[in-house]
Protein backbone atom coordinates (compact mmCIF):
# COMPACT_ATOMS: atom_id res chain seq x y z
CA UNK A 1 0.00 0.00 0.00
CA UNK A 2 2.83 2.35 -0.78
CA UNK A 3 0.69 4.76 -2.76
CA UNK A 4 -2.13 5.14 -0.18
CA UNK A 5 0.48 5.57 2.57
CA UNK A 6 2.29 8.26 0.64
CA UNK A 7 -1.06 9.83 -0.19
CA UNK A 8 -1.91 10.05 3.51
CA UNK A 9 1.40 11.80 4.15
CA UNK A 10 0.75 14.16 1.26
CA UNK A 11 -2.73 14.99 2.52
CA UNK A 12 -1.23 15.80 5.91
CA UNK A 13 1.38 18.06 4.32
CA UNK A 14 -1.39 19.95 2.58
CA UNK A 15 -3.51 20.04 5.71
CA UNK A 16 -0.66 21.49 7.72
CA UNK A 17 -0.30 24.27 5.21
CA UNK A 18 -3.93 25.24 5.82
CA UNK A 19 -3.98 25.72 9.54
CA UNK A 20 -3.27 29.43 9.91
CA UNK A 21 -5.47 30.39 7.02
CA UNK A 22 -7.73 32.91 8.77
CA UNK A 23 -5.30 34.88 10.93
CA UNK A 24 -4.73 37.66 8.41
CA UNK A 25 -8.37 38.14 7.51
CA UNK A 26 -9.27 40.47 10.36
CA UNK A 27 -7.41 42.99 12.48
CA UNK A 28 -8.32 41.13 15.68
CA UNK A 29 -8.10 37.36 16.25
CA UNK A 30 -11.28 35.53 15.24
CA UNK A 31 -12.78 32.08 15.38
CA UNK A 32 -13.40 30.34 12.10
CA UNK A 33 -13.86 26.85 10.69
CA UNK A 34 -12.67 26.06 7.17
CA UNK A 35 -13.74 22.97 5.23
CA UNK A 36 -11.57 21.62 2.41
CA UNK A 37 -12.12 18.76 0.01
CA UNK A 38 -9.22 16.72 -1.40
CA UNK A 39 -9.11 15.24 -4.89
CA UNK A 40 -6.72 12.51 -6.06
CA UNK A 41 -6.80 10.94 -9.53
CA UNK A 42 -10.03 12.83 -10.29
CA UNK A 43 -11.93 11.36 -7.33
CA UNK A 44 -12.60 12.72 -3.86
CA UNK A 45 -10.02 11.33 -1.46
CA UNK A 46 -10.42 13.20 1.81
CA UNK A 47 -11.96 15.93 3.94
CA UNK A 48 -10.02 18.40 6.07
CA UNK A 49 -11.59 20.62 8.72
CA UNK A 50 -9.50 23.45 10.14
CA UNK A 51 -10.58 25.19 13.33
CA UNK A 52 -8.78 28.35 14.43
CA UNK A 53 -9.40 29.66 17.94
CA UNK A 54 -8.45 33.24 18.73
CA UNK A 55 -5.19 33.15 16.79
CA UNK A 56 -3.38 31.05 19.41
CA UNK A 57 -4.49 27.53 18.48
CA UNK A 58 -5.16 25.57 15.30
CA UNK A 59 -6.94 22.21 15.28
CA UNK A 60 -7.15 20.06 12.17
CA UNK A 61 -9.00 16.85 11.46
CA UNK A 62 -8.18 14.84 8.35
CA UNK A 63 -10.39 11.96 7.20
CA UNK A 64 -9.90 9.90 4.07
CA UNK A 65 -12.92 9.12 1.91
CA UNK A 66 -13.92 7.11 -1.13
CA UNK A 67 -11.31 4.81 -2.72
CA UNK A 68 -8.51 6.00 -0.45
CA UNK A 69 -10.56 5.20 2.63
CA UNK A 70 -11.26 1.69 1.37
CA UNK A 71 -7.57 1.09 0.66
CA UNK A 72 -6.03 2.92 3.58
CA UNK A 73 -8.21 4.50 6.25
CA UNK A 74 -6.91 7.82 7.58
CA UNK A 75 -8.22 9.60 10.69
CA UNK A 76 -5.61 12.13 11.83
CA UNK A 77 -5.96 14.89 14.43
CA UNK A 78 -3.45 17.71 14.69
CA UNK A 79 -3.29 20.53 17.27
CA UNK A 80 -0.72 23.34 17.39
CA UNK A 81 -0.57 25.90 20.22
CA UNK A 82 1.30 29.18 19.79
CA UNK A 83 2.61 31.92 22.05
CA UNK A 84 1.60 35.58 21.88
CA UNK A 85 3.98 36.18 18.96
CA UNK A 86 2.70 33.26 16.92
CA UNK A 87 5.72 31.03 17.56
CA UNK A 88 5.35 27.31 18.24
CA UNK A 89 4.59 26.41 21.86
CA UNK A 90 3.39 22.81 21.63
CA UNK A 91 2.26 20.30 19.03
CA UNK A 92 0.07 17.21 19.43
CA UNK A 93 -0.58 14.85 16.55
CA UNK A 94 -2.68 11.68 16.68
CA UNK A 95 -1.90 9.46 13.69
CA UNK A 96 -4.47 6.82 12.78
CA UNK A 97 -3.53 5.53 9.33
CA UNK A 98 -4.28 1.97 8.32
CA UNK A 99 -2.74 -0.18 11.04
CA UNK A 100 -0.56 2.66 12.31
CA UNK A 101 -1.62 4.21 15.59
CA UNK A 102 0.84 6.76 16.93
CA UNK A 103 0.85 9.81 19.17
CA UNK A 104 3.35 12.59 18.59
CA UNK A 105 4.03 15.36 21.09
CA UNK A 106 6.49 18.25 20.79
CA UNK A 107 7.23 21.29 22.95
CA UNK A 108 9.24 24.37 22.04
CA UNK A 109 11.33 26.51 24.42
CA UNK A 110 12.20 29.84 22.78
CA UNK A 111 14.45 30.99 25.64
CA UNK A 112 16.55 27.81 25.58
CA UNK A 113 16.38 27.49 21.80
CA UNK A 114 15.34 23.87 22.19
CA UNK A 115 12.60 21.56 20.95
CA UNK A 116 11.58 18.26 22.53
CA UNK A 117 9.95 15.50 20.46
CA UNK A 118 8.37 12.18 21.45
CA UNK A 119 6.69 9.69 19.10
CA UNK A 120 4.92 6.70 20.64
CA UNK A 121 3.59 3.61 18.88
CA UNK A 122 0.30 2.88 20.64
CA UNK A 123 -0.14 -0.56 19.09
CA UNK A 124 3.10 -1.85 20.60
CA UNK A 125 3.13 0.63 23.50
CA UNK A 126 6.72 1.68 22.81
CA UNK A 127 8.49 5.00 22.25
CA UNK A 128 9.65 5.10 18.62
CA UNK A 129 11.57 8.37 18.75
CA UNK A 130 12.57 10.68 21.58
CA UNK A 131 14.94 13.55 21.01
CA UNK A 132 15.80 17.12 21.89
CA UNK A 133 17.17 19.45 19.24
CA UNK A 134 18.38 23.02 18.84
CA UNK A 135 16.17 25.66 17.23
CA UNK A 136 16.78 29.31 16.29
CA UNK A 137 14.36 30.44 19.02
CA UNK A 138 11.05 31.36 17.39
CA UNK A 139 10.00 28.66 14.94
CA UNK A 140 6.75 27.90 13.11
CA UNK A 141 5.01 24.77 11.99
CA UNK A 142 3.76 24.81 8.39
CA UNK A 143 0.48 26.41 9.47
CA UNK A 144 2.32 29.25 11.18
CA UNK A 145 4.54 29.66 8.12
CA UNK A 146 1.43 30.14 5.98
CA UNK A 147 0.20 32.75 8.44
CA UNK A 148 3.44 34.70 7.96
CA UNK A 149 3.12 34.35 4.20
CA UNK A 150 -0.40 35.78 4.29
CA UNK A 151 0.54 38.64 6.59
CA UNK A 152 3.68 39.61 4.67
CA UNK A 153 3.30 38.32 1.10
CA UNK A 154 6.41 38.80 -1.05
CA UNK A 155 6.12 40.74 -4.29
CA UNK A 156 5.71 38.78 -7.50
CA UNK A 157 9.00 37.20 -8.51
CA UNK A 158 10.48 37.45 -5.03
CA UNK A 159 10.67 35.08 -2.07
CA UNK A 160 11.31 34.85 1.66
CA UNK A 161 12.55 32.23 4.12
CA UNK A 162 11.12 31.20 7.48
CA UNK A 163 12.28 28.73 10.18
CA UNK A 164 9.91 25.73 10.26
CA UNK A 165 9.95 22.98 12.90
CA UNK A 166 7.80 20.02 13.90
CA UNK A 167 9.97 19.38 16.96
CA UNK A 168 11.88 16.58 15.25
CA UNK A 169 13.38 18.60 12.41
CA UNK A 170 14.02 22.30 11.88
CA UNK A 171 14.80 23.91 8.53
CA UNK A 172 14.68 27.24 6.72
CA UNK A 173 11.88 26.98 4.16
CA UNK A 174 11.65 29.24 1.14
CA UNK A 175 8.34 30.47 -0.31
CA UNK A 176 8.25 32.11 -3.73
CA UNK A 177 5.55 34.32 -5.28
CA UNK A 178 5.34 33.05 -8.86
CA UNK A 179 2.40 34.53 -10.78
CA UNK A 180 -1.20 35.72 -10.76
CA UNK A 181 -3.92 33.25 -11.71
CA UNK A 182 -7.70 33.10 -11.83
CA UNK A 183 -8.87 30.03 -9.86
CA UNK A 184 -12.34 28.47 -9.83
CA UNK A 185 -13.42 26.64 -6.67
CA UNK A 186 -16.72 25.41 -5.17
CA UNK A 187 -17.01 28.85 -3.55
CA UNK A 188 -16.64 30.71 -6.85
CA UNK A 189 -13.94 32.22 -9.02
CA UNK A 190 -11.11 34.19 -7.40
CA UNK A 191 -8.11 36.23 -8.54
CA UNK A 192 -5.11 34.70 -6.77
CA UNK A 193 -1.34 34.71 -6.49
CA UNK A 194 0.33 31.32 -6.79
CA UNK A 195 3.12 30.58 -4.33
CA UNK A 196 5.46 27.62 -4.17
CA UNK A 197 6.75 26.38 -0.81
CA UNK A 198 9.98 24.41 -1.14
CA UNK A 199 9.42 21.79 1.55
CA UNK A 200 10.27 18.62 -0.42
CA UNK A 201 13.45 17.08 -1.76
CA UNK A 202 15.17 17.14 1.63
CA UNK A 203 14.34 20.74 2.54
CA UNK A 204 11.89 19.48 5.17
CA UNK A 205 10.44 16.27 3.74
CA UNK A 206 12.77 13.72 2.18
CA UNK A 207 10.45 12.63 -0.63
CA UNK A 208 10.44 14.44 -3.95
CA UNK A 209 7.54 16.72 -4.68
CA UNK A 210 6.27 20.27 -5.13
CA UNK A 211 3.77 22.22 -3.02
CA UNK A 212 1.78 25.13 -4.45
CA UNK A 213 -0.59 27.47 -2.61
CA UNK A 214 -3.06 29.86 -4.26
CA UNK A 215 -3.94 32.82 -2.03
CA UNK A 216 -6.68 35.25 -2.98
CA UNK A 217 -5.38 38.59 -4.26
CA UNK A 218 -7.65 40.69 -2.03
CA UNK A 219 -7.88 41.93 1.56
CA UNK A 220 -8.63 38.43 2.90
CA UNK A 221 -5.54 36.63 1.52
CA UNK A 222 -7.43 33.35 1.80
CA UNK A 223 -5.68 30.08 0.81
CA UNK A 224 -8.33 29.01 -1.66
CA UNK A 225 -6.44 26.09 -3.22
CA UNK A 226 -3.40 23.91 -2.50
CA UNK A 227 -1.76 21.33 -4.73
CA UNK A 228 0.96 18.82 -4.18
CA UNK A 229 2.77 17.04 -7.02
CA UNK A 230 4.43 13.76 -6.02
CA UNK A 231 6.12 10.96 -8.00
CA UNK A 232 3.99 9.04 -10.51
CA UNK A 233 2.96 6.28 -8.11
CA UNK A 234 1.06 8.88 -6.06
CA UNK A 235 0.42 11.69 -8.54
CA UNK A 236 -1.21 15.06 -7.90
CA UNK A 237 -3.46 15.93 -4.95
CA UNK A 238 -5.55 19.12 -4.91
CA UNK A 239 -7.37 20.73 -2.00
CA UNK A 240 -10.02 23.38 -2.48
CA UNK A 241 -11.93 25.45 0.04
CA UNK A 242 -15.60 24.43 0.08
CA UNK A 243 -17.13 26.11 3.14
CA UNK A 244 -16.33 28.82 5.69
CA UNK A 245 -17.97 29.13 9.11
CA UNK A 246 -17.44 32.24 11.26
CA UNK A 247 -18.61 33.19 14.74
Supply the mean pLDDT for the chain: 84
**What pLDDT is attached to residue 214?**
93
pLDDT in tens, 158-178: 998 889 999 999 999 998 999
pLDDT tens-digit readout, 131-149: 999 999 899 988 788 777 7
Cut 0.75: pTM above it:
yes
Q: How confident is the model over 219-240, as pLDDT tens digits?
A: 878 888 999 998 887 889 899 9
Instruction: Give the residue with greater pLDDT, 17 vs 224.
Output: 224
Least confident of 13-17, 114-118, 185-189: 13-17
Domain layout of the chain by residue ranges? 2-246
Which range is most confident: 31-35, 98-102, 192-196? 192-196
174, 160 in Cβ contact below 8 A?
yes
Amino acid sequence: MKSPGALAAALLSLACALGASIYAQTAAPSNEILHYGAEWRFVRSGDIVVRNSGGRQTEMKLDSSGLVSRLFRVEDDYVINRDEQGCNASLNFQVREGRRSRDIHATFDRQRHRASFVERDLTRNVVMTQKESETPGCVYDLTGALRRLREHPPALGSSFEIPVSDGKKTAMIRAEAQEKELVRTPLGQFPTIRYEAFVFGGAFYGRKGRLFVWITDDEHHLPIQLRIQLPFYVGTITLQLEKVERN
